[in-house]
A and B are shown apart, each in its own frame.
Chain A
Amino acid sequence: MTSIPILREREGQIYQKGREPFKMSCGKHSLAGSVSQRACVFCGSRVVLYPIADALHLIHGPIGCAAYTWDIRGALSSGPTLHRYSFSTDLREKDVIFGGEKKLYSALCQLIDAHQPKAAFVYSTCIVGIIGDDVEAVCKKVAKEKGIPVLPVHSEGFKGTKKDGYQAACDALFKLVGEGPTEAVSPCSINILGEFNIGGEAWMIRDYYKRMGVEVVSVMTGDGRVDDVRRSHGAALNVVQCSGAMTFLAEMMKERFGTPYIRVSYFGLEDQSKALYDVAAHFSDHPEIMAKTREIVREEISAVYPELQRIKPDLEGKRAAIYVGGAFKAFSLIKALRYLGMDVVLAGSQTGNEADYEMLRDMCDDGTVILDDANPLELSKYIIEKKADLFIGGVKERPIAFKMGIGFCDHNHERKIPLAGYEGMLNFAREVHATVTSPVWKFAPKAVIS
């Protein structure tokens, strides 16, 4: 096979476990001309805030950013569905020349009148930063006139990476935190952070905690409501899933309100159970919570266990490649795949930091390829070399896997089925099983690897 040249500037972002020295040069801006799988600051903000269903989300800029993110997430709401619209100021040439403030102002006013949202988020995209609209001032004015919070989200795409978008979203959310009443909040209460209710995941997780006797004040932002965010400072503990997205908010809440936080993951039986036990441990002066937790974990695992056992033999020894947004998700996936008897041959993320990659190195077997901010050429090269049977990633990775004739599992914000929690693990196993054991691969020509 013809070898695909790896760009020299990218060499520091590719590592094979076992080779020395290990020094991932991550956290860099993507290299110009390399086809990065990354998105932008705006993308990060939109992902985090998207599920707040009773807020207005208005994207200030030309049409693209809004059009491409219309109803793109799998985040479900149990009530209002305002989040599933795609509102844009759709800037035209004259707005770019004369400024878009007027348009923003009236678009905001009209939308608020029409939809009566609890709050409004205004996302600035790239050119807004250039034409110099005073988005802050417009938001302030509208907030005063309409009597709802109107929050600017500084998400100009070029001003950093997706992570900066998380930060911008957290900054906007933080303006709501502390504004609502907390008298009724139980001392055994938590907020769930970084859980976006993809396919109803937040509902499942909320339910576990409720059954444990722990009150969930807010989920940020899955099935989100503005009023819940406003009273979230009343919770005794923040439970943060996934390193990337909402640790910023947890930090800010810790500083301002003294709310402690722990980090968890809801993917895989092991991590999901730990996520419940860790919360129970936090409320150790209520031992009944731990007792109840043990019961729930036992119950939930025994409900999915037989089916998982049936699936496992077919997956034994199959090889998986993982390329996801945040590194934390990769950790959980490695554990979940191991539980299913599979080997991980490639693990990478778009936004991992040094500590994340060290952790990945420690978790992975010898020979595993670890990648930061990879592109299709690198991903395809290594999935062939490592003879992967399965690729786990997002929509942009899917056709790479399929073209190369291997199975694929979607694991991103766009999927529509829950993969978190116990039930989610079963969905995950079923999806992996369905794709890896499909008879269609026998029609796929296989590369001859010398």
Chain B
Amino acid sequence: MFSEEKTEEYTATKNACKLCTPLGASLVFKGIQGAVPLLHGSQGCSTYIRRYLISHFKEPIDIACSNFAEDTAIFGGGANLRIALENILLQYAPEMVGIATTCLSETIGDDVPMFIREFKEMHRGEEMPPLVHISTPSYQGTHMQGFHGAVRATVEALATDQGADDRKANDQKANEKTRVNLFPGMLSPEDLRHLREILTDFGLGFTLLPDYSETLDGPLWTEYQRIPAGGTTVDAIGRTGSAAGSLEFGRVLAAEKNTAGKFLEKEFGVKCHSLGLPIGIGETDRFFKTLEFITGMPTPPRYAEARGRLTDALVDGHKYVSRVKAAVFGEEDLVVGIVSFLSEIGVIPVLCASGGRSGHMVGKIAEIIPDYENKGIRILEDADFVDIEAAAEEVKPDLFIGNSKGYTSARRLNAPLIRIGFPVHDRINGGRLLHVGYAGAQRLFDRIANTVIGKRQDDSSWGYTYM
């Protein structure tokens, strides 16, 4: 039996500000053309994860499961994985299967790579899509570890430097557009579309991984799409090893040793440019500078124009937001990105919180606001919403910026919530929120300023109308 000493060090997580690892991995696989995510474990996890993703994206999200039963948990999941794969190949005819483990299969110690080898062996001579595996025990990380881990695992499994050799050998290919890799992190479909637009306007070929901008935000269908159209192709992922460079978003991610971009740099010499999420002017400028550097091209005029309109809007609206206090929460890189933007417009991020526990967030915020302590800014890592609300009660933010999960806290503290990131499951526009680029900063600024103005208007007994 357990000992009673030092019990005070263990507390429960109350209203988590994070999700579990296979959710992040599933989302990445949903952004690969023809891919089916398969969770190796018991049914509940995949159903809950589907349900959760559906409420944000409002799209059908098929995630298969190897369906452990009691005897599977005892004798191992090899047989179940085989049956699952066979059924998926039959019913979905996938171009890739992304296999992520759940806590259960991790804990019983299933050797998934071996199961996959055996499966391929059994089906030798048959055509077989790539089977990409990532180990995702949730007790080791959050949904963000699952997300970045799946990007890395996919690249590791599929990337070659084939293209580079081809290019040398084949003159025609030498004329191929400069191609870059972009690992955007966990952004919205609207963000991904905007990034694609920017890369296209720079005349670049690119591999955007993952890209669920169509698979999780598509039109109506006349027949059920077993796998919705769109996504990064397996082929394009294969060519990441021969790209002119990789861009990888996320200041927190940049602090990790093992990322897709760094892998490609190490294995194939593809230079990795680690950038912050391009939220706000400074980070977006850096993104465009990097694209200019890679292509040797100036930024297309429409972006300079958008930047111009944005700075004009910031000036028009600056007094309304200046010194407004915001509580920002969500996944670490998004928090850091938003903090960077807020610090440009005069909003004080009095509370910055994440359920993530990479250990890098404080340092990354300090890079942006070195005197954050003097400014009374509180930073919480590995936090839940009970922690966040308690801290918010002390710092009294004027508004909350984060996902729908902050609604109850914001409501109790009578401060408006500006919904960003994931999950947004009490509004209908989760997939259409734009955060990145000058256009994203414009929308964020308009929402923040108008929310502040609207609140003051509603709270005033005069109900004034002119500005």
- Which residues of A does B touch, CB under 8 Å? 1-2, 4-5, 7, 9, 29-43, 58, 61-71, 84-93, 95-96, 99, 101-103, 105-107, 109-111, 126-127, 129-131, 134, 137-138, 157-160, 375-377, 380-381, 384, 395-396, 398-400, 402-405, 443-448
Give the CA-CA distance A94 to B67 in the complex, in Å: 26
Check A157/B139 contact, CB under 8 A, given A35-B62, A127-B107: no
The reply to whether A106 and B10 contact each other, CB–CB distance below 8 Å, is: yes
Per-residue contact bits, chain B 1-33, to A (CB 8 Å; 1 contact, 0 not)? 111100111111111101110110000000000
What are 27 A-B residue pairs whose CB atoms fall within 8 Å in the complex?
A31-B83, A32-B81, A33-B64, A36-B43, A36-B65, A38-B43, A39-B43, A39-B44, A43-B44, A62-B20, A62-B137, A63-B19, A68-B48, A86-B16, A90-B13, A102-B3, A111-B14, A126-B44, A127-B139, A157-B104, A158-B72, A380-B223, A399-B59, A403-B60, A403-B220, A404-B223, A446-B222
Given contacts A31-B67, A39-B44, A157-B44, 6 further A-B contacts (CB under 8 A): A32-B80, A35-B62, A40-B43, A68-B49, A126-B41, A377-B224
- A337 CB to closest chain B CB (Å) equals 23
B contact residues around A106 at 8 Å (CB)? 7-11
Bound complex: CA of A320 vs CA of B386, how far in Å? 43
A107-B11, A158-B68 known; A63 and B16 CB under 8 Å? yes
Q: Is the CB of A34 within 8 A of B87?
A: yes
Q: Does B291 contact A (CB under 8 A)?
A: no
Q: Are the C-beta atoms of B12 and A88 separated by less than 8 Å?
A: yes
Judging by beta carbons under 8 Å apart, are B223 and A88 in contact?
A: no
Give the docked Cα–Cα distance between A111 and B386 (Å). 12
Interface centre among A63, A91, A138, A376 (most CB of B within 10 A): A63
Which of A381, A395, A403 has the most C-beta atoms of chain B within 10 angstroms of its own C-beta?
A403
* 8 Å CB contact of B139 from A31, A37, A95: A95
Q: What's the minimum C-beta distance from A81 to chain B, rounded to whole angstroms?
A: 10
- What residues make up the interface of B, taking CB atoms closer than 8 Å to A? 1-4, 7-16, 18-20, 22-23, 38, 41-52, 54-55, 58-70, 72-73, 80-81, 83-88, 90-91, 102-104, 107-108, 137-140, 142, 220-226, 386, 405, 408
A367 to B50, CA, bound (A): 31
In the docked arrangement, what's the CA distance between A399 and B13, Å? Answer: 31
Q: Which residues of A contact B59 (CB under 8 A)?
A: 399, 403
Greatest chain B CB density within 10 A among A61, A68, A85, A102 is at: A68
Chain A residues, CB < 8 A from B19: 63-64, 67-68
Total contacts A to B, CB within 8 angstroms?
Answer: 262
Q: How far is the CA of A333 from the CA of B11 in the complex (A)?
A: 44
Interface contact A40-B42, CB-CB below 8 Å:
yes
Q: Which residues of B contact A29 (CB under 8 A)?
A: 67, 69
Q: How far is the CA of A5 from the CA of B222 in the complex (A)?
A: 17
**When the two chains form their complex, are residues B15 and A70 in contact, meaning their CB atoms are under 8 A apart?**
yes
Most buried by A among B10, B50, B59, B69: B10
With A32-B66, A64-B138, A105-B2 as known contacts, state yes or no: A157 contacts B43, CB within 8 Å.
Answer: yes
Q: Select A34's contact among B44, B73, B91, beta carbons within 8 Å.
A: B91
B91 in contact with A377 (CB, 8 Å): yes
Shortest Cβ gap from A246 to chain B (Å): 20
Q: Determine if B13 and A395 form an interchain contact, defined as CB atoms under 8 angstroms apart.
A: no
Residues on A with beta carbons closer than 8 Å to the beta carbon of B22? 64
CB distance from B167 to the nearest CB of A (A): 38
| Contacts A33-B66, A64-B138, A158-B104 given; does A90 touch B224 at CB 8 Å | no
**Minimum CB–CB distance for B380 against chain A, Å:** 15
9 closest A-B pairs by CB: A40-B44, A33-B87, A64-B20, A380-B224, A33-B84, A106-B7, A90-B13, A158-B42, A107-B12
In the bound complex, residues from chain B placing their C-beta under 8 Å from that of A111 are: 12, 14
Smallest Cβ-Cβ distance to B52: which chain A residue? A68
The complex places the Cα of A318 from the Cα of B321 at a distance, in Å, of 52
